[in-house]
Structure 1
Amino acid sequence: MDVLVPMKTWMWTLLLVMLIAPLGADAQDLITFNQDRLDINRSGMYVLGGWAAGNMALSGWQYYQTDGSTKYFHQMNVFWNLVNLSIAGIGYYGAVTGATDLDLANSLIEQRKIEKILLFNAGLDVAYVTAGFLLRERAKVKTDRMDQFTGWGNSLILQGSFLFVFDLVMHQIHRNHASELLNGLDVSVGLSGLALRYTF
């Protein structure tokens, strides 16, 4: 079934399709879909929390065993991963207490929200890595704090790189998960507007 929609109203039509068409999902399918989304988040928080705890343990010990820029590298790792561990704890709590009995529209809203958060975070991760390189360059000019800026810069590059990969992998896993619900919906753009086709 093809429906041509003028470009001005395609969003309203898509919303109507989401609210009216069952998209092949009954209440139990939606509960399973939402539980799977929360399980993905919970697993991700295990990874993030494990990374944070491992960094804090290793760098906490190495901080007292090293000097120079390496000491500052480990110092920043500990501070940075205190934040990561807090985020992992909050994220884990949200994953184990999140609602699964959402209707179709709210299921899609929650799915889209986590995808957007992960993409936003990936952008922040690039900023962290960039800040790390800037700190390393600043160390060449500010020689009295060269070790500190070099160590902190190296830590930001490492932590930002890990988070960038983590956020992109999590985003892709969530995108694959979303396709389970939307695999019957086909949207295409033509000269006369937008075509929506759903296979029941």
Structure 2
Amino acid sequence: MSRISSILYTLSATLIGQLCQSQALPVSPAERLQFSQERYNHTRTLGLSLGGYALANLAVSGIAIGQSTGETKYIHQMNLYWNAVNLGIAGLGLLGLRKQHPETETLGEAVQKHNSMKQTLLFNAGLDVAYIAGGLYLTERANSHPDQADKLRGYGKAVMAQGAFLLAFDVVNYLVFRRRGDPQQVQLIGQAPMGVGVSIPIR
């Protein structure tokens, strides 16, 4: 390729890039804010829901444990331990939200936080499956440890029940995030200004 042809080819590529950039629609602040605000509101609802569930379990099991014996007593005991942790997680999550400000986020930050929430929920769903398997293991151990059968069986059933709830909770919220946010994300990224870069060796 001659030097003149290379120069003309480079100029053409540059003009194409500028044309593509000029044709891209800018993302309006209102659209970006809606995307960020909906993620923020959903995350807040998620934390409040988990916290409310934990408080309800603590109240019910806190009353029932003094009126129960055997396996049932250990179910309520594990519920108290488990939901004290759930309440702590929900509280920390809600406190963390106070540091987020949807109105000042860039599009890149909003997209990153949206994807991070989906990844967190999927990771948690994997842990929930492990919890259910762990609860099943405890109930199976009760058969070979008759002296601790009530405790192992009670703990196992409680862990399986809590793990099943959390699995449903995380999967449903993941699907809601994906169904609501992904189309918005694709639309916003598609509207963001984009350039076309072409590297051409000149000899």
TM-score range, shorter chain: 0.7 to 0.9
Q: Which residue of structure 2 lines up, in the alignment, with residue 152 of structure 1?
A: 155
Moved more, 25-34 or 107-116: 25-34
Distance (whole Å) between structure 1 residues aligned to residue 124 and residue 87 of structure 2:
16
Q: Which residue of structure 2 lines up, in the alignment, with residue 181 of structure 1?
A: 184
Contact 1:69 1:150 (C-alpha < 8 Å) held by counterparts:
yes
Tell me which amino acid in the other structure corresponds to 1:164: L
Distance (whole Å) between structure 2 residues aligned to residue 148 and residue 76 of structure 1:
10
Q: Does 1:32 align with 2:47?
A: no
Q: Does 1:62 align with 2:64?
A: yes
Query: What residue ranges of structure 2 are gaps of 5+ in the alignment?
Result: 1-20, 193-203
Normalization by structure 2: what TM-score? 0.77
> How much has 1:94 moved relative to structure 2?
2.2
Query: What residue ranges of structure 1 are gaps of 5+ in the alignment?
Result: 1-19, 187-197
Matched length: 170
Q: CA 1:23 to 1:68, structure 2 compared with 1: closer, same or farther past 3 Å?
A: farther
1:140 is paired with a residue of what secondary structure? coil
Instruction: Report the RMSD for the aligned CA atoms in angstroms.
Output: 2.2
Distance (whole Å) between structure 2 residues aligned to residue 108 and residue 91 of structure 1:
19
Normalization by structure 1: what TM-score? 0.78
Tell me which amino acid in the other structure corresponds to 2:144: V
Contact 2:58 2:80 (C-alpha < 8 Å) held by counterparts:
yes
Q: Which residue of structure 1 lines up, in the alignment, with residue 77 of structure 2?
A: 75
Tell me which amino acid in the other structure corresponds to 1:123: G
Q: CA 1:23 to 1:81, structure 2 compared with 1: closer, same or farther past 3 Å?
A: farther
**Pairs within 5 Å for 1:159-174:** 159-174=162-177
Contact 2:121 2:173 (C-alpha < 8 Å) held by counterparts:
yes
Q: Does 1:50 align with 2:46?
A: no
Q: Which residue of structure 1 lines up, in the alignment, with residue 15 of structure 2?
A: none
Q: Which residue of structure 2 lines up, in the alignment, with residue 116 of structure 1?
A: 119
**Pairs within 5 Å for 1:123-134:** 123-134=126-137
Q: CA 1:134 to 1:166, structure 2 compared with 1: closer, same or farther past 3 Å?
A: same
1:46 is paired with a residue of what secondary structure? helix
- Per-residue CA deviation, residues 158-195 of structure 1 (Å, 9 max, x unaligned), is 10000000001111111122224234489xxxxxxxxx
Structure with the greater alpha carbon radius of gyration: 2
Q: CA 1:180 to 1:96, structure 2 compared with 1: closer, same or farther past 3 Å?
A: farther
